[in-house]
Structure 1
């Protein structure tokens, strides 16, 4: 039997939901690894509809006008800081590059996003003792 928060994830943009504080909406911001290397941009926020929390970010890199773009899912647990312009992760570029293959159809399978959490070293959000990270949050310049 599934527990709350274990249903399929959906893109926030595919729902009627919004981010409560517009400053906390990180879509379109640059994503940097722990060393400051560019990883791409936040393309989408994936939420579980039961708890209405962001669980994964969808990061797109490369390509031109969306053609030839590489995409990956990254748990919000990997976010270490958010500014008005960028999202910083606790991962290296090389580690992100080796992440499980992106398949948008599979995000509806709990095993698939469970593998993503495991790859990045985080417990899945439906597991016992899980604590939601301090996300979303906004740190204005100079704060």
Structure 2
């Protein structure tokens, strides 16, 4: 695999890994838009096992008892702050609603990840000059 390709991503919950010592495991935290609107709860974190970095948040919203739940696929670059049980991101609810939905079959493909990064206007992590700015290092 070259440095110009997306990598296979794994759900943190499907591995035996944990978040780095001293960092907060934000799974289950509420996500708030930049306008303070509820987006949903972080269901899982997608990690890049090569660099041991979190690359995306999987955020569940809507539904009742798990029925009809939608899952958003949000780059960690959107994280601007973390409180006791809340993650703040720099996107609006409307913008997130228009993003590609999380699809576990496509989540590790370069085309799918490029579409997600493009929608949110972030540089993909595999491109030259990328600097991790989101969780666990919020701006």
TM-score with structure 2 length normalisation?
A: 0.92
Unaligned runs of 5+ in 1: 139-143
Aligned residues: 138
For 2:88 and 2:22, the matched residues in 1 are separated by: 19
Task: Give the structure-1-normalised TM-score.
Answer: 0.89
Give the conservation status (yes or no) of the 8 Å contact 2:6–2:113.
no
- Residues 10-89 of structure 1: pairs in structure 2 closer than 5 A: 10-21=10-21, 24-89=24-89
Counterpart position of 2:118:
118
Q: Distance in 1 between matches of 2:102 and 2:58?
A: 10
Q: Secondary structure at the match of 2:105?
A: helix
Measured on the aligned residues, the alpha-carbon RMSD in Å equals 1.8
Return the structure number with greater helix share.
1
Q: C-alpha deviations, 1:3-54, integer Å up to 9, x for none?
A: 2883111101111111123651000000000010000000000011100100
SS at structure 2 position matched to 1:107: coil
Is 1:8–1:110's contact at 8 Å kept on the other side of the alignment? no
Structure 2 residue ranges without an equivalent (≥5):
none
Deviation per CA, 1:84-124: give whole Å up to 9, x if none: 11000100000000001332211121211121111100000
| Poorly superposed stretches of 4+, deviation over 6 Å | none
- Asked if 1 retains the 8 angstrom alpha-carbon contact of 2:31 and 2:39, the reply is yes
SS in 2 for 1:24: coil
